[in-house]
Amino acid sequence: MRFPSRLLAANMVFALLLWGVLLAGVALVAAGVAVFGTLTESTWEKGVQLARWYALFVGVALVREYLPMYVAHGVTRRQFGAQAAVTATLFAPFLAVLVAVGYLLEAGAYGLAGLSQTLDRAHLFAEPTHVPLVLAEYLIELAAWLVAGSVIGAAFYRWDGGGLLAVPVGVGLVVLAESAIGTELRLPFVSRLALGLDVPQSPAVTAGLGLAAFLFGLALTWLVIRDVPLRNRPA
């Protein structure tokens, strides 16, 4: 198995393990709320928000961890850039599928228990069982978080503290994607700040803005890493 298939497979296996842990954790929380209180909303909708931060982490690691490793073993920066783009392009829909399957499993469990799987925030889909729309929404969202991570990770790898300048760029990519699907980016520790753009909602606009954010993020990452020197790490 060769790069990028090796890198993609490794991340898929790890994501699958984390998905199982998250699924079990969400199920325990839902069961606890149902037993000791009243369960009226989708628990998976809340828990799966962690997938965004995981996608961001994968994007950061894609450059900071894997770029020096592969270049040191004879892979050119151009080859790495192209193949990392393939990895990101295939990994984002894989995560979206895991999210959709989680919604379906929750729908089955709620149905057996006679519970309502009510959604708490705006989505492209009205029901969690509308699989194509679930996949579309989370593909756009997770792809944006992934490339935002790759831009930020590349900037920090190249410029150390100067990478802070790339954080607003990463946030902008995420805001663009969230606005495309009709939601707002709510930042942690800033409870009253919600970022979003007022864009017309239509399938063409949603798909176009999502694709634009993803491709722009990949292009920015390449501009940063195309001639980046490898850095020595302390032993």
Domain locations in the chain as residue ranges: 5-225
Q: What share of the chain is helix, strand, coil (3-state, %, to 5)?
A: 70, 5, 25
Burial annotation 122-140 (CB, 10 A radius, 16+ → b, else e)? ebbbeebbbeebbbbbbbb
Q: Determine the Cα angle at 222 with ends 216 and 225, to 5°.
A: 145
Token representation of residue 175? 């805001």
pTM: 0.90
pLDDT in tens, the chain (235 residues): 466 678 889 899 999 999 999 999 999 999 999 888 888 899 999 999 999 999 999 999 998 889 998 888 888 999 999 989 999 999 999 999 999 999 999 999 999 988 888 898 888 888 999 999 999 999 999 999 999 999 999 999 999 888 899 999 999 999 888 888 877 666 554 444 445 556 656 778 888 989 999 999 999 999 999 999 887 654 3
The answer to whether the CB of 55 falls within 8 A of the CB of 34 is no
Token representation of residue 71? 């270049």
Burial label, 61 (beta-carbon count in 10 A; 0-12, 13-18, 19+):
middle
Which of 47, 27, 78, 51 has the alpha carbon at shortest distance from 226? 78
Which of 136, 146, 158 has the alpha carbon at shortest distance from 204? 136
Which of 162, 154, 157 has the alpha carbon at shortest distance from 232? 157
